[in-house]
Amino acid sequence: MVLTVRSEFTGVNQVGDFRWMIEQPEYADALFIFNDNQSQFYEHQQSQGTDHRCFPGGGNATIRPYQCQTPPRATGIPTGEFGGYNALDESSRAAIDDAIACLESLLATGNYARVIYSWDAQNQTLGTGIFTVAREVTDYIVERIDTTASRE
Protein backbone atom coordinates (compact mmCIF):
# COMPACT_ATOMS: atom_id res chain seq x y z
CA MET A 1 0.00 0.00 0.00
CA VAL A 2 1.28 3.42 -1.00
CA LEU A 3 0.25 6.36 1.16
CA THR A 4 -1.63 9.15 -0.59
CA VAL A 5 -0.89 12.68 0.53
CA ARG A 6 -3.17 15.58 -0.32
CA SER A 7 -1.14 18.77 -0.48
CA GLU A 8 -2.63 22.25 -0.68
CA PHE A 9 -0.67 25.10 -2.23
CA THR A 10 -0.55 28.06 0.17
CA GLY A 11 2.63 29.77 -0.99
CA VAL A 12 6.06 29.29 -2.51
CA ASN A 13 8.95 27.47 -0.87
CA GLN A 14 6.82 25.55 1.60
CA VAL A 15 4.70 22.42 1.81
CA GLY A 16 2.18 22.55 -1.02
CA ASP A 17 4.66 24.06 -3.48
CA PHE A 18 5.55 20.98 -5.54
CA ARG A 19 8.55 22.70 -7.14
CA TRP A 20 10.03 23.24 -3.68
CA MET A 21 8.85 19.95 -2.13
CA ILE A 22 10.28 17.70 -4.82
CA GLU A 23 13.77 19.01 -4.03
CA GLN A 24 13.52 18.36 -0.29
CA PRO A 25 15.19 15.15 0.99
CA GLU A 26 12.16 14.22 3.10
CA TYR A 27 10.16 13.70 -0.11
CA ALA A 28 12.69 11.43 -1.83
CA ASP A 29 10.30 8.46 -1.48
CA ALA A 30 7.38 10.31 -3.09
CA LEU A 31 5.89 10.35 -6.55
CA PHE A 32 4.25 13.70 -7.30
CA ILE A 33 1.19 13.90 -9.54
CA PHE A 34 0.82 17.16 -11.41
CA ASN A 35 -2.12 18.47 -13.42
CA ASP A 36 -1.21 18.17 -17.09
CA ASN A 37 -2.59 19.17 -20.45
CA GLN A 38 -4.04 16.22 -22.31
CA SER A 39 -1.86 16.70 -25.40
CA GLN A 40 1.36 17.08 -23.39
CA PHE A 41 0.50 14.00 -21.34
CA TYR A 42 0.14 11.91 -24.51
CA GLU A 43 3.21 13.46 -26.15
CA HIS A 44 5.27 12.41 -23.15
CA GLN A 45 3.85 8.89 -23.17
CA GLN A 46 4.66 8.51 -26.87
CA SER A 47 8.15 9.99 -26.58
CA GLN A 48 9.20 7.94 -23.55
CA GLY A 49 10.71 11.15 -22.15
CA THR A 50 13.49 11.31 -24.73
CA ASP A 51 12.97 14.79 -26.12
CA HIS A 52 11.77 18.33 -25.43
CA ARG A 53 8.53 17.21 -23.77
CA CYS A 54 10.19 17.41 -20.36
CA PHE A 55 9.85 21.17 -19.94
CA PRO A 56 8.13 22.88 -17.02
CA GLY A 57 4.53 23.96 -17.31
CA GLY A 58 2.41 26.38 -15.33
CA GLY A 59 0.99 25.77 -11.87
CA ASN A 60 2.03 22.46 -10.38
CA ALA A 61 3.17 21.33 -13.84
CA THR A 62 6.39 23.21 -13.08
CA ILE A 63 7.61 19.78 -11.97
CA ARG A 64 7.00 18.21 -15.41
CA PRO A 65 10.78 17.76 -16.00
CA TYR A 66 10.89 15.32 -13.09
CA GLN A 67 8.79 12.84 -15.08
CA CYS A 68 11.86 12.38 -17.26
CA GLN A 69 14.19 11.30 -14.46
CA THR A 70 15.12 7.71 -13.76
CA PRO A 71 13.14 6.74 -11.82
CA PRO A 72 10.49 9.38 -12.48
CA ARG A 73 9.70 11.63 -9.54
CA ALA A 74 6.54 13.04 -11.12
CA THR A 75 3.74 11.96 -13.40
CA GLY A 76 1.02 13.95 -15.09
CA ILE A 77 -2.72 13.48 -15.05
CA PRO A 78 -4.78 15.32 -17.66
CA THR A 79 -7.20 17.91 -16.32
CA GLY A 80 -8.00 19.51 -19.66
CA GLU A 81 -6.76 20.89 -22.93
CA PHE A 82 -6.53 24.67 -23.40
CA GLY A 83 -8.73 24.99 -20.34
CA GLY A 84 -10.18 22.47 -17.93
CA TYR A 85 -12.43 19.58 -18.80
CA ASN A 86 -15.99 20.84 -18.46
CA ALA A 87 -17.48 17.34 -18.08
CA LEU A 88 -16.51 13.78 -17.32
CA ASP A 89 -17.29 12.47 -20.77
CA GLU A 90 -15.88 9.53 -22.73
CA SER A 91 -12.84 11.50 -23.90
CA SER A 92 -11.84 13.01 -20.55
CA ARG A 93 -12.46 9.72 -18.73
CA ALA A 94 -10.27 7.85 -21.24
CA ALA A 95 -7.39 10.32 -20.80
CA ILE A 96 -7.63 10.16 -17.00
CA ASP A 97 -7.79 6.36 -17.10
CA ASP A 98 -4.69 6.28 -19.32
CA ALA A 99 -2.87 8.41 -16.75
CA ILE A 100 -4.01 6.12 -13.95
CA ALA A 101 -2.61 3.14 -15.89
CA CYS A 102 0.73 4.95 -16.02
CA LEU A 103 0.49 5.64 -12.29
CA GLU A 104 -0.19 1.94 -11.64
CA SER A 105 2.91 0.98 -13.64
CA LEU A 106 5.08 3.42 -11.72
CA LEU A 107 3.77 2.30 -8.34
CA ALA A 108 4.31 -1.35 -9.27
CA THR A 109 8.07 -0.68 -9.39
CA GLY A 110 8.13 -0.34 -5.61
CA ASN A 111 10.14 2.90 -5.86
CA TYR A 112 7.59 5.00 -4.00
CA ALA A 113 6.17 5.03 -0.48
CA ARG A 114 3.92 8.03 -1.09
CA VAL A 115 1.90 9.65 -3.84
CA ILE A 116 1.40 13.39 -3.47
CA TYR A 117 -1.25 15.31 -5.36
CA SER A 118 -2.73 18.78 -5.25
CA TRP A 119 -5.67 19.35 -2.93
CA ASP A 120 -8.34 22.02 -2.60
CA ALA A 121 -9.29 21.84 1.10
CA GLN A 122 -12.14 24.33 0.79
CA ASN A 123 -13.93 22.26 -1.85
CA GLN A 124 -12.59 18.86 -0.73
CA THR A 125 -11.38 17.83 -4.19
CA LEU A 126 -8.38 17.96 -6.51
CA GLY A 127 -6.65 21.31 -6.45
CA THR A 128 -6.62 23.13 -9.78
CA GLY A 129 -5.10 26.55 -10.03
CA ILE A 130 -4.80 27.39 -13.72
CA PHE A 131 -7.79 25.54 -15.21
CA THR A 132 -11.38 25.53 -14.09
CA VAL A 133 -12.25 21.84 -14.08
CA ALA A 134 -15.71 20.33 -13.63
CA ARG A 135 -16.28 18.96 -10.14
CA GLU A 136 -17.22 15.52 -11.47
CA VAL A 137 -13.81 15.38 -13.15
CA THR A 138 -11.78 16.42 -10.10
CA ASP A 139 -13.70 14.00 -7.89
CA TYR A 140 -13.14 11.18 -10.38
CA ILE A 141 -9.40 11.89 -10.46
CA VAL A 142 -9.17 11.88 -6.65
CA GLU A 143 -11.12 8.63 -6.39
CA ARG A 144 -8.93 6.94 -9.02
CA ILE A 145 -5.65 8.11 -7.42
CA ASP A 146 -6.71 7.06 -3.93
CA THR A 147 -7.99 3.66 -5.10
CA THR A 148 -4.90 2.96 -7.18
CA ALA A 149 -2.45 3.87 -4.41
CA SER A 150 -4.30 1.80 -1.82
CA ARG A 151 -3.97 -1.32 -4.01
CA GLU A 152 -0.19 -1.05 -4.33
Q: What is the pLDDT of residue 14?
A: 97
Q: What is the pLDDT of residue 46?
A: 85
H/E run at residue 99? helix 90-107
H/E run at residue 138? helix 135-151
The tally of domains found in the chain comes to: 1
Q: What is the pLDDT of residue 151?
A: 80
Q: Is the pTM of this model over 0.75?
A: yes
pLDDT class for 52, splitting at 50, 70, 90?
A: low
Q: Supply the mean pLDDT for the chain.
A: 93
pLDDT class for 88, splitting at 50, 70, 90?
A: very high
Q: Average pLDDT in the 13-31 region?
A: 98
With a cut of 90, say whether residue 152 has pLDDT above it.
no
Residues contacting residue 13 through CB under 8 Å, at least 6 positions apart: 20
> What range defines the domain where residue 122 resides?
3-151
Q: What is the pLDDT of residue 54?
A: 83
* pLDDT tens, position by position, 112-133: 999 999 999 999 999 998 889 9
With a cut of 70, say whether residue 51 has pLDDT above it.
no
In Å, how far from its chain's centre is CA 110? 18
